[in-house]
Amino acid sequence: MSFHVGTSDRRAAAADEFTFASGRVLSQSIREEFKLDAPQKVVIAHDALFLGEEPPAERSQLLASQGFRTLICDRRTPTPAVSHAIRVEQAAGAINFTASHNPPEFNGMKLYTADGAPALPAVTQKIEARLGATAKGQTEGQSAGVCETHDPRTAYLADLEQKVRFDLIANAKGSYAYDPLWGTGRGYLDEILRRHGLQVETIHDWRDVLFGGRSPEPEASHLQDLTALVMARKYVLGLATDGDSDRFGVIDANGQFITPNQLIAILFDYLAESRKWNGGVARSVATSHLVDRVAQIRGLPVYETPVGFKYIGELINEDKIILGGEESAGLSIKGHYPEKDGILACLLAAEAVAARGASLTEQLNNLFAKTGRLESGRTGVRLTPDLMPVLKEKLKEEPTELNGRKVKTINRTDGLKLIFEDDSWVLVRPSGTEPLVRIYAESESEKDVEVLLEQGRKYLLD
């Protein structure tokens, strides 16, 4: 039996590669890692997937048989609430059964360490190394442990109360629409806004293990119902989270989808202005350089990381940044957890609108007036066996131009990023969670972004 754990999680098709048996082997290997570091509490959580409750219950018993005190979450739990529970309970870590934003036929496991962060490669590589011996049937042993039911919501929502200016949101007296995409955000984001007297209309507020027949990802094409509702009811914002609530999607009052790249820049600017915090901004190599321009205006440093929020999480733990974000709709802030939090991102968007008395579109245009306009996009190419050796060779190349565009800088932080003389860029890298090659691009116009994406695709395939 072979596994690839990945950087902090493992995802695969349920009942095919991801089965009860394979998950059990992986859990045993994870258990050994926890036992080496800190044989104490472990948080077990799950999302809204089909049979999502079954593996956590089984793994809790497995860990308890090894002397661990397992805290199994009493409801379908957002990923950021899992991170918070680890810290509150001073646990050795957590196993979260979720496929995040992936299609409904998938399931997965996310591993977290004692700081509430996704496990770094140094940890997952040790777990992967143990898998062969574990699969051959290591004896589990028996010792006294405890399985307890745990409520993660109460403490997590109380923590958000300390980080979001709900007084400003409430004073603005706006109304909101919320789409949890049938995921774990139900009863979290909408609940905390209602507690402050705000009107929230929630759609897709029931369990659908098929997520409406598509992946529970809060991208523009999946938020048509939310957009129509915002426009029809004249809501201040439409807010959305993905299947495990670590990613965000935001629709402005005019029906415009505010891209993650745009919201990251807006919120960085807003927090730097309103909180007066020390620190810079972190972004992945695939994320817009718009935040760089905001940082330059404010005289603050920029930290560029490989793709994967765990790297940004390290900077949060080190208290180096005001905000860290990824173009794939991941965001966290100073003093928060070293993990993406889509619920927090949505609430901060509401706060920025309330505090500034300006829509997100207006705030974005104000930024563009200072920084110049930047547009970004991405596409994917299926990673076939034939393409894999080609990709390896392409990533080693050092082109001096691409279709007549002169390359100013080559960035190999993660994949191959070509930065051109006009500061436009294209990035080619393999996805860490799907069998795809991702191609990202940024330029001053949407039309040029489309051209760059196609040039990047041809570079890869020709």
- 258 and 244 in a common domain: yes
Q: Are residues 390 and 331 in the same domain?
A: no
Range name among 8-12, 140-144, 266-270, 436-440 with the lowest pLDDT average: 8-12
Indicate the pLDDT class of residue 321, thresholds 50, 70 and 90: very high
Q: Are residues 138 and 189 in the same domain?
A: no
Is 283 a member of any domain?
Answer: yes
Q: Are 96 and 110 in contact (CB under 8 A)?
A: yes
The DSSP H or E segment spanning 425 is strand 425-430
Indicate the residue among 99, 125, 156 that finishes a domain: 156
Best CA proximity match to 193, nearest among 213, 176, 218, 171: 176
Last residue of a domain, one of 102, 122, 156: 156
Whether residue 405 lies inside any domain: the answer is yes
DSSP 224-260: HHHHHHHHHHT-SEEEEE-TTSSSEEEEETTS-EE-H
419 and 351, same domain (yes or no): no
Q: Tell me whether residue 4 is in a domain.
A: no
Identify the pLDDT of residue 56.
56
Is the domain of 100 the same as that of 191?
A: no
- Per-residue CA distances from 37 to 33, 51, 148, 234, 361 (Å): 6, 30, 21, 52, 48
Q: Assess if residue 81 is contained within a domain.
A: yes
Same domain for 219 and 145? no
CB 360 within 8 A of CB 269: no
In the predicted structure, residue 126 carries a pLDDT above the cut 90: no
Q: Are 102 and 11 in contact (CB under 8 A)?
A: yes
Across the strands, what pairs with 406? 401
Q: State the angle between helix axes of 290-298 and 360-371 in degrees (0 to 180), rounded to the nearest 10.
A: 70
393 lies in the same domain as 431: yes
**Which phi-psi region, left, alpha or beta, contains residue 5 (left: φ > 0; alpha: ψ -120 to 50)?**
alpha
Distance between CA atoms of 400 and 412, rounded to whole angstroms? Answer: 15
Give the whole-number percent of the chain exceeding pLDDT 90. Answer: 67
Cα–Cα nearest to 417, from 434, 431, 398:
398
CB 153 within 8 A of CB 81: yes
18 domain-assigned: yes
How many other β-carbons are positioned within 10 Å of the β-carbon of residue 35? 16
Per-residue pLDDT of 256-272, as tens digits, reads 999 999 999 999 999 99
70 confidence band (pLDDT: 50, 70, 90): confident
Q: What is the pLDDT of residue 216?
A: 86
Whether 102 and 26 share a structural domain: yes
pLDDT band per the 50, 70, 90 thresholds, residue 135: very low
Asked if pLDDT for residue 66 goes beyond 70, the answer is no
Residues 6+ apart with CB under 8 A from 429: 285, 286, 307, 395, 414, 415, 416, 437, 438, 440
CATH classification at residue 189: 3.40.120.10
Q: Is residue 3 part of a domain?
A: no
How many domains does one find in the chain?
3
Ranking 388-397, 431-440, 441-450 by mean pLDDT, the lowest is: 431-440
Is residue 446 situated within a structural domain? yes
CATH code of the domain in which 387 resides:
3.30.310.50
382 and 365 share one domain: no
For residues 196 and 345, state if they share a domain. yes
Beta carbons of 180 and 205 less than 8 angstroms apart: yes
Q: What is the CA radius of gyration of the chain?
A: 22
383 neighbors 391 (Cβ within 8 angstroms): yes
Look at residue 2 and give its three-state secondary structure. Answer: coil
Give the pLDDT score at 261: 98
Mean residue pLDDT across the chain: 87
Shared domain check, 172 and 77: no
**Listed residues 353, 371, 389: the one ending a domain:** 371
List, in sequence order, every beta strand (DSSP E) within 231-371: 237-241, 248-252, 257-258, 280-284, 302-305, 321-326, 330-333
List Cβ neighbours of 209 (8 Å cut-off, separation of 6 or more). 48, 49, 50, 52, 104
Domain that holds residue 446: 375-461
CB neighbours (10 Å) of residue 436?
Answer: 15
Instruction: Give the model's pLDDT for residue 53.
Output: 58
| Residues 355, 379 within the same domain | no
Least confident residue range of 55-69, 83-97, 117-131, 202-216: 55-69
